[in-house]
Each structure stands twice: as C-alpha cells, then as structure tokens.
Amino acid sequence: MKPELIVDAPIVGQKKIWVKEINHSHFNHPFHFHKLCELVWIEKGHGKLIMGDYVGNYQAGDLVLISPEMPHLWRSDAVYYEKTLNLYTKATAIYFPSNLIARITDDTDSISRYQKMLVRAQRGIRFFGGIKSIILEKIAALRASTGLSRIGLFLQIVDLLSNTDHSEALASVSYRTSIDERDMKRFNDVYQYLLQNFARDISLKEMAEISHMSPNSFCRFFKLKTQKTFIQFLNEIRIGNACKLLQTDDYSLKEICYRCGYNNPTSFHTAFKQIMKVTPIEYRESLNQSAL
C-alpha cells in the first residue's frame, strides 16, 4: 500500500512525547504513515480501519499501537459526514520515537519487552481486556499533565502495554511495509472509491479505469500492495459493514445482503462465513446472547 507521510508530529529527537487531541466531525487524513510510533485511543466514533493488509472496523474504546511507517487509515462511517446529525469523532494520539525507552533506562528486561512489543506493532496492535481500562485512565491523566509527570505516566503506560497478553496483531504475518510514493495516490483513490461504492456492483474493469491501468495490471498491482485479491478486499469491506448492520434488528438478513452489495443471499452467506467463520444468523444470535 502506498500511503503519504503525515508530518503532524515533531521530527524525531525534537521532543520525547507529543500528544494530539482529535475532536472533529470525522477523521480526515488520507491513507498515511508517520515517522514516530503512535498510540491511538478512540474515545468517540466508529468506522473502518485499514492497517497494512488488515481491513476491519473501529469503535469507541479501541486502543491501537502503530509502528513507524505502518500505512493506516481511519475512515469514519458515512453518518459522521451528515452535518445535520451533529455527530463527532474524538481521539487521543500519543507520538514517541521508537528508541525512547532505551534512551531513558538501561534495564535490559524492560527494554527487551518494549522491543518485542514494537516488533509486533509493525503489524498494528489492538489492546483489550481489563488492563485496557487502566491504560485509558492513565492516557487521560497524561493528556492533562506536563513535564516529569507526563514522562512518568508515559513510562507506566508503556510498562502496562509491554507486559499484557491481552492484545491482537492486526495485519498478517506476511505483510511487509513498502513505501513507494508513486503509488500512494493511486491506492488511496481506489480505497476511497470502494468505501463509497461497495453497496453496488463494482467491476474489475471499472476499478482498472479509475487506476488508469489494464485489468490484468490492476490485479497485479492490487495483490502486490495488499497481499489480497481485489475481490477478497472488497468482500472484507462489505462483510465488515454487514457485521455493523447485524448488531441491531433494524434490517432483515435479506435487506443486509443487498445493502452490502451482494446480488443474492447465497453469495452473501458464503462470503460472510468465509470471513467470519460463522453464518450471519449465528453471528446475530451470538450478539443477542451476549447482551442478555
């Protein structure tokens, strides 16, 4: 994937820890990467997250660690672009250089755990479980702190992150970051187009024309950049949206099928089970049971 560099944090070495508060109607960055590590807490909002070759959803409460040069995109759901609804997205991002801990301490065990965490962060890490609530409290405190208090809270956060097993890597093991600025706009245009049009038929020829490529060249380009076929990637976007619609009883399975771009229930059920490992009915039932 070919993202653009977003320099919305200080140059490495200029400042040890930098905190950015985001409070907008929606996320507005394109597909991008940073030169620093980034720890993101989503406080309000939901939408699509792409992290390397991972395509999924994000929601309020998510805590994600991203390594330097890891391509990613937070895309708010369509409702956040409707001004009349007065919805907004709130997040906190903490930026820091990857060698920060080694510059602060010579404790080999702490450095080793931290470095192992950063290796995993090359795939993007999402944290969960009881430890996450403790970390979020400390992030809130860090946001309001300065000086040595901020550094102390940051070290506590890193220590908790480095020692918890309650986390998951997002991108696949085989994913490798490859920054090529020439392809950046092309891939970003393709991804944004898919997000806006996944609910209708999208042909390979159509996508090739948008990319100014032949269909065969587009297929090779897309597979090289995402490690997935175009159809696999499109299905993941569609099924991710289906999962959101299944969380309420507002739509029948048939309605969800067509709202997510499938022409018939059979194709929808096949794609859903392939990606989610359960049928749409089983998925909805599991949500209802967990709510009891």
Report the pLDDT averaged over residues 252-272: 95
Is residue 47 within 8 Å of 87, Cβ to Cβ?
A: no
Residue 102 domain-assigned (yes or no): yes
Q: Is the pLDDT of residue 3 over 50?
A: no
Number of domains comprising the chain: 2
Examine the domain organization and report whether 33 and 145 are in the same domain: yes
Same domain, 250 and 111: no
Would you state the pLDDT for residue 13?
46
Same-domain status, 98 and 138: yes
| Residue 183, pLDDT score | 67
HEC string for 133-182 = HHHHHHHHHHHCCCHHHHHHHHHHHHHHHHHCCCEEECCCCCCCCCCCHH
The number of CA neighbours under 13 Å toward the Cβ of 69 is 10
| pLDDT at residue number 10 | 46
Give the model confidence (pLDDT) of 64-90 as tens digits: 999 988 888 898 888 888 877 888 999
Q: For residue 146, is it within any domain?
A: yes
The residues, any chain, with a CB within 8 Å of residue 133's CB and separated by 6 or more, are: none
pLDDT in tens, 96-150: 999 888 888 888 898 899 999 998 999 999 999 989 999 999 999 999 998 899 9
Q: How is residue 280 annotated by DSSP?
A: H
Single pTM value for the model: 0.67
Instruction: Indicate the burial class of 235 (C-beta count within 10 angstroms; 0-12, 13-18, 19 or more).
Output: buried
Average pLDDT, the chain: 86
Residue 177 lies in a domain: no
155 and 204 belong to one structural domain? no
- Answer whether residue 111 is part of any domain: yes
CATH of the domain at 63: 2.60.120.10
Mean local confidence (pLDDT), 260-283: 93
Asked whether residue 178 is assigned to any structural domain, the reply reads no
What pLDDT is stored for residue 178 in this prediction?
57
Pair 29, 87 in one domain: yes
Q: What is the pLDDT of residues 175-218, one digit of tens each?
A: 766 555 566 677 778 888 888 899 999 999 999 998 889 999 99
Q: Could you tell me the pLDDT band of residue 164, with boundaries at 50, 70 and 90? A: very high
Host domain of residue 228:
198-290
pLDDT at 15 (0 to 100): 56
Q: Does 236 lie in the same domain as 98?
A: no
Domain at 281, CATH number: 1.10.10.60
The number of helices, as runs of H, and strands, as runs of E, in the chain is 11, 11
Least confident piece of the model among 39-53, 132-146, 250-264, 274-288: 274-288
